[in-house]
Amino acid sequence: MSDKAIRKIVIVGGGTAGWMTAAPLALKLGPTCEIVLVESPEIGTVGVGESTLPTITYYNHALGIDSGEFVRRTKATFKLGIDFVDWGHLGNRFFHGFGDYGPPIENRPAFMAWQRLARDVKDLPPYEEWSLTATMAHANRFVPPHGEAQSPTNAYSYAFQFDAGLYALYLREYATARGVQRIEGTVGEVEQHPETGFITAVKLADGRRVEGDLFVDCTGFRGLLIEGVYQAGYEDWSAMLPCNSAQAVPSALADVKTPYTRSTAKSAGWQWRIPLQHRNGNGHVYCDGFMSDEEAGRVLLDGLDTAPLDTPRQLRFTTGRRRKSWIKNCVAIGLSSGFLEPLESTSINIIELAVGWLVQFFPDRDCSPELADEFNRLVTQRYEYVRDFIVLHYKLTSRTDSEFWRYCAAMPVSDALQHQIDMFRATGHVAIYDLQGFQVDSHAAIMLGNGLRPERCDQIIERMDPRSLLEHFQKVHATIRQVVGAMPDHGAFLAQVAGTARVA
């Protein structure tokens, strides 16, 4: 081991971000590096992110976590996507699933062929009926992908909906069992090297000092180290994502545990509903410039499916990101790095990626600025790509029933997003900037779901015989119905897994 190797990592802040950082570092570094996590029981966590993307399964697998135990310990349910209600226009409903709309045709996404047929075939079923995930969700069926790689039973992905607080506790057990030292305390001061400016220690309110070589800031919105010490700066995206407030409340267990998250658009934002094994998670994301907190609370409670179990908890935020997430020997992960509203369940995914990049570019005690630059470049891109995807949901609205939605329809967006919208409208194609993020079918789900229809069909698809296309779609439709019909009910499968089984 190099004489400049990192000997001690100090993670400041617990919660989901802190323990999701500690667990893989403990696994990778083992006894070669001391890892300490400092958290204060007096400082609460945001804890609204209970819905995830399919990448969470890879994160858990990399840690060697038993999936059945994970489901039991975190009160998880399975997630096939998001059900959108009243987005685009009142009365509208569409599904963004973790899958496509059938196998590609002429190396084009299948929805392009549906567009071609919909122009000429009367009473053609909606495009979502060629989505396996949407059909499963609507039927409330679930089983993990299985069988051959090209089989319809393997043509989708899934994520989880879970209690983020229980997940953090579960990872805390995992990390401490692998040597991570947990210290309870509140940071009062931060000490720096007088010449390099590197952080050398954090001093707790009771006088204890915790020295380290590398410091990870997981202190949430405060950014105690990245902002409090290094004044990284914050890029405010409120002009494109005006929601700046949320109220969250749990409600009673629903009779039916749906394998999806629901997002219902409201007059000044949207409301989430996340079914767990022991309760429903609910929240109302809104802009306090268009709706008072009192009214927002009423909207939230009026929109619950089940009885509330508490009073709504108020949250404030400013959408955006730190201008730099890695400065000197300090790396910000989680809310200390940036915040995007949970519309597409991306917050935990960004933590996963940031931790992965920290492991990939793990430094020595000199903390090469080139490594920091590359980490910052990747984090910046990720936030910007996700930002644009979320903005897309708002920008395409045709709602005029409130000042909020009129603002969203007229607001400026990034050049990259405007190009994606213009290209889809003109040709049906989607420009993809992020090859590791939301892909063509995800963008199509949001654009088609909000009512955006291409003005022209793809020219290769246009030349195909519509009769053969229709025959192909009829076969796909029949296969999907057959496959879904053979699947168990989501609640029944979940009960089996939560009891004894291991998930595939």
Contact, 128 vs 134, CB < 8 A? yes
At residue 157, the pLDDT reads 96
Q: pLDDT tens for residues 289-325?
A: 999 999 999 999 999 999 999 999 999 999 999 999 9
pLDDT of 398 higher than 60? yes
Percentage of residues in the chain having pLDDT higher than 90? 91
pLDDT of 183 higher than 50? yes
**Residue 105 — pLDDT band, cuts 50, 70, 90?**
very high
- Secondary structure of 379-429 in HEC code, one letter for each residue: HHHHHHHHHHHHHHHHHCCCCCCCHHHHHHHHCCCCHHHHHHHHHHHHHCC
At residue 46, the pLDDT reads 52
Burial grade of 372 (CB within 10 A; 0-12, 13-18, 19 or more): buried
**Residue 48 — pLDDT band, cuts 50, 70, 90?**
low
- Catalytic member of 8, 28, 75, 79: 79
End-to-end CA distance of the chain: 38
Query: Distance (Å, rounded) from C-alpha 313 to C-alpha 487?
Result: 38
pLDDT of 2 higher than 80? no
More confidently predicted of 291 and 124: 291
Burial grade of 423 (CB within 10 A; 0-12, 13-18, 19 or more): middle
At residue 413, the pLDDT reads 98
pLDDT of 112 higher than 70? yes
pLDDT of 260 higher than 80? yes
At residue 504, the pLDDT reads 46
Query: Distance (Å, rounded) from C-alpha 94 to C-alpha 45?
Result: 32
For the chain, what is the mean pLDDT?
Answer: 95
Query: Distance (Å, rounded) from C-alpha 146 to C-alpha 154?
Result: 5
At residue 3, the pLDDT reads 87
**Residue 501 — pLDDT band, cuts 50, 70, 90?**
very low
Give residue 431's identity as a one-letter amino acid code. A
Average pLDDT score over residue span 417-444: 96
Average pLDDT score over residue span 396-418: 98
Q: Examine the residue annotation and report whether 79 is marked as an active-site residue of this protein.
A: yes
At residue 42, the pLDDT reads 72
**Residue 500 — pLDDT band, cuts 50, 70, 90?**
low
At residue 120, the pLDDT reads 86
Q: pLDDT tens for residues 223-247?
A: 999 999 999 999 999 999 999 999 9
Query: Distance (Å, rounded) from C-alpha 7 to C-alpha 104?
Result: 50
pLDDT of 264 higher than 90? yes
CB atoms within 10 A of CB 177: 10
Query: Distance (Å, rounded) from C-alpha 283 to C-alpha 309?
Result: 13
Query: Distance (Å, rounded) from C-alpha 105 to C-alpha 471?
Result: 13
Give residue 295's identity as a one-letter amino acid code. E
**Residue 45 — pLDDT band, cuts 50, 70, 90?**
low
At residue 502, the pLDDT reads 46
Average pLDDT score over residue span 242-268: 96
At residue 171, the pLDDT reads 98
Average pLDDT score over residue span 203-228: 97
Average pLDDT score over residue span 468-491: 95
Average pLDDT score over residue span 248-255: 94
104 CB-near residues (< 8 Å, 6+ apart): 110
